[in-house]
Amino acid sequence: MPPVIGWLLAFPLTASEPASHMSFVADVLPQLTKAGCNTGACHGAATGQGGFQLSLLGYDPEHDYQAITRELEGRRIDLATPARSLILRKPTRELDHEGGLRIERDSVAWRKLVDWMSQGAGYGPPELHVSAIEVHPAAGFLISPGESHSLRVTARRSDGTVEEVTSLALYSPNDDGIAEVSEDGVVTVKNPGLTAIMVRYSGHVAAVRVGAPYTKDPEPAAVAFPVRNFIDEHVFAGLKRLRIPPSALSEDQVFLRRVYLDVAGRLPTPDEIEAFQTRADSEANRMDVIDRLMDEPGFVDFWTLKLADLLLINSSKMGAEGARAYHGWLRQQVADNVPMDRMVDVLLTAEGNPDENGPANFYRLTRDPRDMSEFVGQTLLGTQVACARCHNHPFDRWTMDDYHSFAAYFARTGLEGGRIVQRAFGEVQHPKTGRDASPRPLGGGANAAEHEDDRRAPLAKWMTSPDNPMFPRAFVNRVWKELLGRGLVEPVDDLRPTNPPSNPALLDALAEHFIRNGYDLRDLIRTIVSSGTYQLSSRANGLNHLDDRHFSRAYLKPLTAQVLADAIAQATGVPEEFAGQPSGVRAVELIDPQVPSYTLDVFGRCDRTVTCAPGSQTGGGLSQALHLLNGPVINARTGQVAQRLMTSAQSDEDRIRELYLRTLSRPPDARELDHWTGVLAQAGSPRAALEDLLWALLNSREFAFNH
């Protein structure tokens, strides 16, 4: 029968039938999603594929319904002979299909589509949607490597019905080195460790944590773990669960160097090392050092630098005056230990002339409210909302509505006559509806902004509310990464339900502690560095060398650009000169990344044009090695030190000891002392040999890393 006649015959039939029983949203779309039709690489791309465009992973069912049933003059479906419809002949490869075989003839998906078309290809109840999904077992599981375990996924519909959708959900492992997952939700753990499986269905996302312990031995973690505060309880519980034995507590001299570099951004001086070592009780001694470091100006400079990197303080965007005002304000906040919620509040609601009122430069980064909302999301809330600008976020809960409503908070902020001002007008339009989005916090909730003169005030109130954990979680995770070398969530600007922390209880506890203690940065740092976890040795104990996210040992942290430059200057006693800066200014004190310094560039300083991942090296590589080997940064300094030591110190042993203390922050052990006295004794020119030893110390691994 020719298709036209078939259609004519079919039409009155379906028209006289009762309304379709099937729902496009609940019955049809999930099949297409499961078959991969609407991924970003296929018809879910913004421009579609082969003239056929669907919404990414089906977030816009009405659009998809139109595309399937109405576009191409309705030729994509065939109500009379559903099997002949394009929507089936393409993915079964009866017709040429660039996307390959997606749906097998006579498969469940195929039959669902056929049934739906035989019933008239209706949309079904217009309001029906999936309101929640649940993954079982919700708490996840640990099994042995090589074993498998099935997930079960249920969806609750808006009409109250619950159905199993295990075969239709999408699964992906966050780390497929640890676990794999099949299309129907069977998880196979491959290696020891813990990761999450992301589960997606009908616009909802969930994650379940799965993995395998490190050993079969039920009690390998009987090692003494130095429990000093709540952090250690959570870390130790995590290690016990995975049966990862922790490393021992670090030695005193290792701790001392570590905490100086992490808290004050500098090396301890030889005098400070001596003073520390002559005192007895180790734990109280360590607490004293921590408290003293928090009080020194170096602490303020160093943490101002970290926050300035986060806020992108840069004269290229703000002008020299603006950058100076902003940096000055920020430094004062750190010096006065202003609570972080207050700082966020001031930043978000800042107004006036940014050359005078530092925090107003916050709004100088961009004039576009959408860009501003993305920046605020990424830096302060640790979330990537940008995807939801054009389509619902494929891995997070953010919808386009969330995105544009959040951006609307910034729609009335602008620069007029050199001042950051609030205007009485300005809206963000939702690209789909064309309507003005009304300001609403991320994730919904009430908002009173429409009645406020300044939309940003309720935003600040929401972001700093003790009931809202987003900012605290993002912030403590960043500080944790600065101190421990890896975030509890990585990347630190992508906290989402489908990217769970390596230790969720710890992140919760830290955020709660931070809120309860008044968003106090110093207290947070003190709490972390006084934990046993922070003070563990970086040396692996055989079993835990593979652990890179559960903090069973200290992870190596390369010295960051400014700290490395300052450490070289400090160790040699020869300061670095920066163009246009007063003599003696250290790299960590520089206000602006525009201050020219090849050394800092090649060491990989953050240029503050876009958010830099903490500890990431944009420079580095061969250029950095060549600069350290041949450049002036070390070579122009070593001669002076060697010359001085030749006269000031009595013996080669003293000289070697002094160089070790200055660079590696520890005395040489007997073997090292023996080796180097031998080398120096044989050298033709002791001074040149001493200079070369200093050069080698500054180029050594032990110097380059905070361990």
Partner 1 sequence: MNSSRIDLRPRCDGLSRRDFLHLGALSCLGLSLADLFRFQALADSPRAKRDLSCILIWLDGGPSHIETFDPKPDAPIEVRGEFKAISTSVDGIRICEHLPRTAKVMREVALLRSLTHELGNHDTGSHYLLTGHRPTPAVQYPSLGSIIARETGIVRALPPYLAIPEAVPAAGAGYLPGAFSPFAIGGDPSKPDYKVRDLHPPESVGFDRVDRRRSMQQALDGFARHVEDSPATASRDAYYEQAYRLLTSPEAKGAFDLGQEPRSMRERYGFKRVGTGCLLARRLVEAGARFVTVVDDGWDMHQQIFKAMPDAFFPGSGKLPALDSAYATLIEDLKERGLLDTTLVVMMGEFGRTPKINAAAGRDHWPRAGFVLFAGGGVRGGQLIGATDAYGETPSERPVRPEDVAFTLLNLLGVQPDKEYIAPGGRPLKILAEGGFIDGLV
Interacting residues with partner 1 (CB under 8 A): 40-41, 45-47, 175-178, 191, 254, 384, 491, 494, 538-540, 545, 548, 556, 558, 598, 617-618, 620-627, 629-632, 635, 639, 671-672, 675, 679, 688-689, 692-693, 695-697, 699-702, 704-705, 707
Closest to partner 1 by CB, 269 vs 618, is: 618
Look at the block and give the residue holding tokens 């001596």. 274
Taking the complex as a whole, the smallest distance from the CB of residue 384 to partner 1 amounts, in Å, to 6
Taking the complex as a whole, the smallest distance from the CB of residue 35 to partner 1 amounts, in Å, to 18
Closest to partner 1 by CB, 161 vs 630, is: 630
Task: Find out whether 544 and 192 touch, Cβ atoms under 8 Å.
Answer: no
Taking the complex as a whole, the smallest distance from the CB of residue 615 to partner 1 amounts, in Å, to 10
- CA 379 distance to own-chain centroid: 10
Q: Which DSSP helix (H) or strand (E) runs through 388? A: none
Closest to partner 1 by CB, 87 vs 554, is: 554
Q: Which DSSP helix (H) or strand (E) runs through 75? A: none
User: CA–CA separation, 594 vs 77, rounded Å?
Assistant: 60
DSSP string, 612-663: PPTT--SS-HHHHHHHHHHSHHHHHHHHHHHHHHHHH-SSHHHHHHHHHHHH
Task: Find out whether 589 and 573 touch, Cβ atoms under 8 Å.
Answer: no
Strand partners, 155: 133, 163
Q: Which of 639, 660, 663 is nearest to 568 (CA)?
A: 663
Q: Which of 555, 497, 543 is nearest to 192 (CA)?
A: 543
Taking the complex as a whole, the smallest distance from the CB of residue 99 to partner 1 amounts, in Å, to 11
Query: Tokens for 400?
Result: 């386009």
Closest to partner 1 by CB, 20 vs 665, is: 665
Cα within 13 Å of Cα(401), Cβ side: 7
Closest to partner 1 by CB, 296 vs 672, is: 672
User: CA–CA separation, 57 vs 391, rounded Å?
Assistant: 10
Taking the complex as a whole, the smallest distance from the CB of residue 174 to partner 1 amounts, in Å, to 9
Closest to partner 1 by CB, 40 vs 443, is: 40
Closest to partner 1 by CB, 132 vs 704, is: 704
Q: How many residues does the chain have?
A: 707
Taking the complex as a whole, the smallest distance from the CB of residue 155 to partner 1 amounts, in Å, to 26
Closest to partner 1 by CB, 47 vs 650, is: 47
Residue 200: CB atoms within 10 Å: 20
Look at the block and give the residue holding tokens 């007997």. 670
Taking the complex as a whole, the smallest distance from the CB of residue 700 to partner 1 amounts, in Å, to 4
Taking the complex as a whole, the smallest distance from the CB of residue 176 to partner 1 amounts, in Å, to 6
CA angle 696, 698, 703 (to 5 degrees): 115
Closest to partner 1 by CB, 397 vs 456, is: 397
Q: Which residue blocks in 23-141 are alpha helix, DSSP H?
A: 29-34, 61-69, 86-89, 108-118
Taking the complex as a whole, the smallest distance from the CB of residue 610 to partner 1 amounts, in Å, to 8
User: CA–CA separation, 503 vs 533, rounded Å?
Assistant: 13
Taking the complex as a whole, the smallest distance from the CB of residue 602 to partner 1 amounts, in Å, to 8
Task: Find out whether 540 and 553 touch, Cβ atoms under 8 Å.
Answer: yes
Closest to partner 1 by CB, 29 vs 559, is: 559
Closest to partner 1 by CB, 496 vs 513, is: 496
Question: Amino acid letter at 410?
Answer: F
- Given CA atoms 29, 34, 39, 42 in this order, what sign does their dihedral have? negative
Question: What is the three-class DSSP state of 77?
Answer: coil
Look at the block and give the residue holding tokens 């060697």. 642
Q: What is the DSSP letter of 105?
A: T
Closest to partner 1 by CB, 131 vs 685, is: 685
Closest to partner 1 by CB, 19 vs 622, is: 622
Taking the complex as a whole, the smallest distance from the CB of residue 254 to partner 1 amounts, in Å, to 6
Strand partners, 413: 422
| Pairing label, strands 162-164, 419-422 | unpaired
Taking the complex as a whole, the smallest distance from the CB of residue 557 to partner 1 amounts, in Å, to 8
Q: How far is CA 28 from CA 108, 166, 343, in A?
A: 11, 15, 49
Taking the complex as a whole, the smallest distance from the CB of residue 659 to partner 1 amounts, in Å, to 11
Give Cβ neighbours of residue 675 (< 8 Å, ≥ 6 apart): none
